[in-house]
Amino acid sequence: MAETYRKKKNYFILLFLAGGFVVYTVFLVVPILHAMFFSLFGGPGIVPKEFVGFQNYIQLFTRDIYSERFFNAFKNTVIFFLIVTFFQNVIGFFIAIMVTRKFSGNTFFRRISFLPTTLSVIVAGFLFTLILNPVWGIFDKFLEVMGLGFLVRPWLGTPSIALVVIAVVTSWQFLGTSIIFYTAGIDAIDKEVLEAARIDGVGPLAEIRYIIFPSILPIVGIVTILIFIGDFTQFDIVYAMTSPYANPQYGTDLFGSLFYRAAFFPIGRGGWGMGMGATVATMIVLIVTIGVIVLMMLFRMQSMGAREEGDR
């Protein structure tokens, strides 16, 4: 009796797991492993057939045509990530504090903050390209009216400025996510603690510094990690605002756009062949994985494993 029950249970487990396991394995895990495996192959033709060992990696770091692009994209991605992280965490945090105060209309502001996030990155990117377009000049005219005409410049035509612009547009779009995350964290703080602190004469700034900030620190960690993963493969905003060639002069080239060109463009028009494309993909996988682990440690988040342990 017990024996048949256990057997039945085993079949049941297998059946339930099988579908999800197959889809997830074949279409997510295998493709990532495929990139790692493929990065060891080279040779002429679209599909590389010749086993070359770590030759692709050596090329990536030593041959100028590859390494220049790779390190340029790395540098840009880091700057892009830092700008977005700053906006989403700092401004997001302060707006979250504001909308968690008691005043009429606070839920309205919470709701609208998430509105830009519902748009597609492509739409946001095109929209701001048009707003910054010098021919139409809607943003430049606005600056002139405000007496800031001296600031007008080719927003998407200067490498260093264009990178900041696409980072600000990305922040505009995703600020709502961090606001919602932080308000959730602030709302979860025990009201009695805040009440007691106020009776003891704790001012609003001290309250933010000593009560609110420490209790939402884990959420700051989650937000930062989500931004990190998103930004290190960000592609859409580059495509929409500065083309897959990351104009001007690769000034806005991120890992996402570099990988896109390297893997899928014809050789001679920015493509590096599939073997090198897979090498770039593998490098990004490694950087993202290591980065996430470092960030997790930085935020002293117990790893998911530790939390699992605690649950049991």
Partner 1 sequence: MLKIKRGTTKTLLYVVLAIYALTIFYPIYLMITTSLKENEEIFTSPYSLPQSFNLDNYVQLFEVSNYLTYFRNSILVTLTSLLIIVVLSSLISYVLAKYKFFGSRFLYFYFIAGLIVPIKLGTIGIIRIMLSLKIFDTLTALIIVYTAMGIPFGVFVLTDFIRLIPEELSNSARIDGCSEAKIFFKIVLPLLRPALAAVVIINFIPIWNDFWFPLLLIRSDNARTIPIATALLFGQYETNFGLVFSVLAMASLPVIIFYFILSRQFIKGLSAGALKG
Which residues share a beta bridge with 51? 41
φ, ψ of residue 41 in degrees (nearest 5): -115, 150
Site for partner 1 in 54-93 (CB under 8 A): none
Q: CB of residue 75 vs partner 1: minimum separation in angstroms?
A: 20
The answer to whether 27 contacts partner 1 (rule: CB under 8 A) is yes
Query: CA nearest 191: which of 159, 215, 217, 158?
Result: 215
Q: Is 21 a residue that touches partner 1 (CB under 8 A)?
A: yes
224 burial via Cβ count (<10 Å: 0-12, 13-18, 19+): buried
Using the minimum distance from each CB to partner 1, give the nearer residue, 120 or 160: 120
Q: Is 302 in the site for partner 1 (CB under 8 A)?
A: no
42 binds partner 1, rule: CB under 8 A: no
Q: Say if residue 70 is exposed, middle or buried (CB neighbours under 10 Å; 0-12, 13-18, 19+).
A: buried
CB of 182 to partner 1, least distance (A): 8
Ramachandran region of residue 249, left (φ > 0), alpha (ψ -120 to 50) or beta?
Answer: left
Q: To the nearest whole angstrom, how small is the minimum distance from the Cβ of residue 34 to partner 1?
A: 3
Distance CA 85, CA 228 (A): 8
By CB under 8 A, name the one of 68, 153, 264, 306 that touches partner 1: 264
**Nearest one of 177, 172, 70, 66 to 121, comparing CA atoms:** 172
Q: Which stretch binds partner 1 (CB under 8 A): 50-58, 71-79, 151-159, 300-308?
A: 300-308
Binding to partner 1 in span 278-297, by CB under 8 A: 278, 281-282, 284-285, 288-289, 292
Chain positions 109 to 138 lying near partner 1, rule: CB under 8 A, are: 109-123, 126-128, 130-131, 136, 138
C-alpha–C-alpha distance, residues 36 and 293, integer Å: 20
Contact 177, 226 (CB under 8 A): yes
Query: Binding partner 1 by CB under 8 A: which of 82, 148, 151, 188?
Result: 188
The residue (of 64 and 201) whose beta carbon lies closer to partner 1 is: 201
Residue among 3, 64, 192, 311 that touches partner 1 (CB under 8 A): 311
Interacting residues of 128 by C-beta distance below 8 A, sequence separation 6+: 165, 169, 172, 241
Binds partner 1 (CB under 8 A): choice among 56, 77, 85, 100: 100
> Which CB atom, from 64 or from 116, has the smaller least distance to partner 1?
116
Of positions 259, 261, 270, 272, contacts partner 1 by CB under 8 A: 259
Nearby residues of 133 by Cβ (< 8 Å), 6 or more positions away: none
Nearest to 238 by CA among 151, 130, 124: 124
**Which of residues 23, 82, 90, 297 is near partner 1 by CB under 8 A?**
23
Q: Which of residues 143-182 bind partner 1 (CB under 8 A)?
A: 172, 177, 180-181
Cβ nearer to partner 1, comparing 132 with 163: 132
Tell which residue, 45, 73, 54, has the closest CA to residue 266. Answer: 45
Q: Among residue numbers 199 through 218, which ones bind partner 1 (CB under 8 A)? A: 204, 207, 218
**Smallest distance, Å, CB 282 to partner 1?**
8
Contacting partner 1 (CB under 8 A), which of 7, 9, 63, 75? 9
